[in-house]
Amino acid sequence: GDQVWKALAEGLTHTQTRKGIQFKNCYFELGTWGALASSLRRKSALTSIAFEGRSGFSDEGCKALATFLKNNRALTSINLTGCSEISDQGWKMLVEALRSNTALESLTFALVQDLYDEGCKVLGEILKTHQTLQHVYLSGTLERGIGSGRSLASKEGCNALAEGLKSNRALTSIDLSGCRGISDDGCKAL
């Protein structure tokens, strides 16, 4: 459990040439994010990071990633596929940290089922400020809340996303397949 992740984090501090890191179907406990953030802080050459599947990637994960992003100017790819425990506060931390990274080319939030209007606003901001961003993958992201019947991406959220799309000249692809939670007004905005 916790000790294994802390040992891994310690090991990461000694590998200076690693370009990519992927955590797939791993579960991080709350206490491990600080150790991971500390080791990632020293990884200035890292160009790709992925937390896929059941990672426990919540606001604590956002905080760790935000700390890393503020110190890393080389990161070109972020993959948070299936990280569905991010609150509005977590999204805000990410966008604030991403302001300092101008190399980002690919952003994957596939199957992040809690991407509400706040998440769409964050994506809109990212698209506006990252003129190097070429690929955005959101497949299966904007779903309807289970049993709620409410749309997760309203006109307001989609307007913010649409504004970001209008101002980004580098974007060559956006994947919205399986995004059934976009309201009718949201579709019109996009």
132-182 pLDDT, tens digit each: 889 988 887 765 443 344 445 677 878 888 898 889 889 999 888 877 767
Residue 42 lies in a domain: yes
Residue 152 lies in a domain: yes
Residue with the larger pLDDT of the pair 88 and 106? 106
The CATH number of the domain where 121 resides is what? 3.80.10.10
Containing domain of residue 137, as a range? 27-181
Residue 7 lies in a domain: no
% pLDDT > 70, the chain? 75
Residue 64 lies in a domain: yes
Residue 106 lies in a domain: yes
Task: Write the burial class of residue 172 (CB in 10 Å: 0-12 exposed, 13-18 middle, 19+ buried).
Answer: exposed
Residue 41 lies in a domain: yes
In which region does residue 38 sit, left (phi positive, over 0), alpha (psi from -120 to 50) or beta (all else)? alpha
In which region does residue 44 sit, left (phi positive, over 0), alpha (psi from -120 to 50) or beta (all else)? alpha
Residue 130 lies in a domain: yes
User: Is the pLDDT at 62 greater than 80, yes or no?
Assistant: yes
Structural domain count, the chain: 1
Backbone angles phi, psi at 114, to 5 degrees: -110, 30
Residue 171 lies in a domain: yes
**Mean pLDDT value across residues 84-98:** 80
